[in-house]
Amino acid sequence: EAIQKPNVLFILVDDLGWGDVGFHLEEDDPEVMTPRMDELAYSGLRLNRHYVHSSCTGTRTALQSGRLPVHVQTSLKNPEDSSSGMPRNMTGLGEHMKTAGYSTHYVGKWDVGMATPKHLPTGRGYDTALHYFEHKNDYWNQTCMQSICCQYFDNVRYGSMEASEFFNLSVTDLWDTHQPAYGLNGTNYEEFMFLDRIQQILDSHTATQNEKDGDDDNDDDKPLFLFYAPHIEHCPLQVPQEYLDQLDFVTDDSQQCTKRTPNILPPSAKKQPTPSCRKQYRAMVLMVDHFIDQIVNQFQKHNLWDNTLLVFTSDNGGPTHLRESGSTNFDLRGGKYSDWEGGVRATAFVAGGYLDRHLSVTNKNSNGVVNQPIHIADWYKTLPSIAGLDVLDLSGEDPNFPPVDGVNVCSYLIGQSDTSPRQEIPLSYHSLLQGDFKLIWRDQVPESSWTGPRSPNASSTQESLDVVIDCHDGCLFNVATDRGEYFDLAPKYPIKVQAMKERLEELRHDF
């Protein structure tokens, strides 16, 4: 019997905190407005231990390449750098999905390199792409905000820019498939542009399939692979007024995010709101929820949802740097840029009609929670396999490239297996995950604090968050039973610590 290939909607959100979605909270919080995400997460499977890199580029490169970040990219190099993202001739996820017969489309943040045409989404297998290349850009006019490329264009020496200079750049970072999105830039808030493009993709895909259905000689129905990578909730925390207004009740807030957010409303606005970082951030989370609701509704309208697999994940935990964000990773420790669970355990779930049909009794009886490890690189092998494609055929790749690290987790997710095939993850040079245990091994471990459910607030200080602890002999945590990493078990299990240190040293040879 022929395999019925599902449509795949992959949503990779940016800098979402563990404590900023309702399905992670034990008690309702009126500030956390994620009804559609909550509904989808509870209707499908909540991936309780879905691991990513501690910052955006490593995560995005791992997903598109199928390699763990330690084998392909752990830096935050800017995209024009030839070593940013994945190597030029490495086979991308989009290429595999295209080989499997999919119509492939990319919308949103790329951050997987741009040094050559092969580095672009279209070079990685996506038929169309409306995207920006950078770690971030301006939501209102799409100007570049970080890259050395932008700084050179403005004749400012790299590394010397003050915040006031940094945000007055004139280089636009918005690309439409094979060319700059000239004429589109500056016409709307960026996320509205992305939403419009997704609507166009769904309309066009459905119209094309309807034409094929009317051709008796054509049975080539192409499923859809739509990759949506919204910019929100990444800084700058720029938000349309209508979303800010829905959180007007927020009080006791921090104002320190102005260092990464020069303006909230468009520069043309007569008056800018008073900075309110948690309010701005949670308004952005509300926007994401609203957009996901609209996209899922469109999938349903076009009769695609019943055969769609939705994968949702953040690229890393929420930043705890007050100058940058208004997120909270409660009740996890640490945040973005750290190896603590708050940095690398991503908010994630899978849902959709395709999943509903394939879930076994095993997962139905576990209240829809998946508690064993999965890494974002595993989707590189899992998604094509669902379509009947084995990604081991990499004949066009450089033989010196590291082998694909991703494993097929499909059987585990749908309950045909009780154990995840992903049991070991070298998270970084200093950290190793094995099953339930995580080793952190370095002299000075930064970002070692916890944030509360209403963090940041008016009393928050960066000093209270910049906690550094000493793990020069190795710190050990059971992150299955102690996800907040409160209890260092190294004194209790010295043999386990030594074995994991030796294993990490062995793995480092291939980093």
Q: In this predicted structure, what is the pLDDT of residue 158?
A: 42
Which 3 state secondary structure label does DSSP give 246? helix
Is the bond preceding residue 245 a cis peptide, omega within 30 degrees? no
First to last CA, the chain: 42
Distance, in Å, from the CA atom of 180 to the CA atom of 406, rounded to the nearest integer, reads 33
Q: In this predicted structure, what is the pLDDT of residue 157?
A: 43
Distance, in Å, from the CA atom of 456 to the CA atom of 449, rounded to the nearest integer, reads 13
403 Cβ contact partners less than 8 Å away, ≥ 6 residues apart: none
Burial class (CB within 10 angstroms; exposed 0-12, middle 13-18, buried 19+) of 166? middle
At CB < 8 A and 24+ separation, what contacts does 84-88 make?
84/57, 84/112, 84/113, 84/114, 84/115, 85/57, 85/60, 85/61, 85/111, 85/112, 85/113, 85/114, 85/115, 85/119, 86/61, 86/112, 86/113, 86/119, 87/398, 87/401, 88/115, 88/116, 88/118, 88/119
Token representation of residue 417: 């297996």
Q: In this predicted structure, what is the pLDDT of residue 159?
A: 47
Q: pLDDT tens digit string along 71-107? A: 999 999 888 888 999 998 899 999 999 999 999 999 9
> Do the beta carbons of residue 76 and residue 390 sit within 8 Å?
no
Distance, in Å, from the CA atom of 510 to the CA atom of 237, rounded to the nearest integer, reads 38
Token representation of residue 22: 């309702």
Q: pLDDT tens digit string along 298-309? A: 999 999 999 999
Which is nearest to 507 in space by CA: 436, 419, 408, 441? 441
Q: Which residues of the chain have pLDDT under 50?
A: 1, 153-167, 219, 365
Q: In this predicted structure, what is the pLDDT of residue 395?
A: 56
Distance, in Å, from the CA atom of 476 to the CA atom of 437, rounded to the nearest integer, reads 7
Distance, in Å, from the CA atom of 30 to the CA atom of 107, rounded to the nearest integer, reads 30
- pTM for this entry: 0.95
Which is nearest to 129 in space by CA: 145, 108, 147, 148? 108
At CB < 8 A and 24+ separation, what contacts does 503-506 make?
503/432, 503/434, 504/426, 504/431, 504/432, 504/439, 504/441
3-class secondary structure for 91-136?
A: CCHHHHHHHCCCEEEEEEECCCCCCCHHHCHHHHCCCEEEEECCCC
Q: In this predicted structure, what is the pLDDT of residue 405?
A: 96
Q: In this predicted structure, what is the pLDDT of residue 152?
A: 54
Distance, in Å, from the CA atom of 277 to the CA atom of 264, rounded to the nearest integer, reads 10
Q: What are the beta bridge partners of residue 13?
A: 314
Give backbone dihedrals phi and psi of 289, rounded to 5 degrees, phi first.
-60, -40
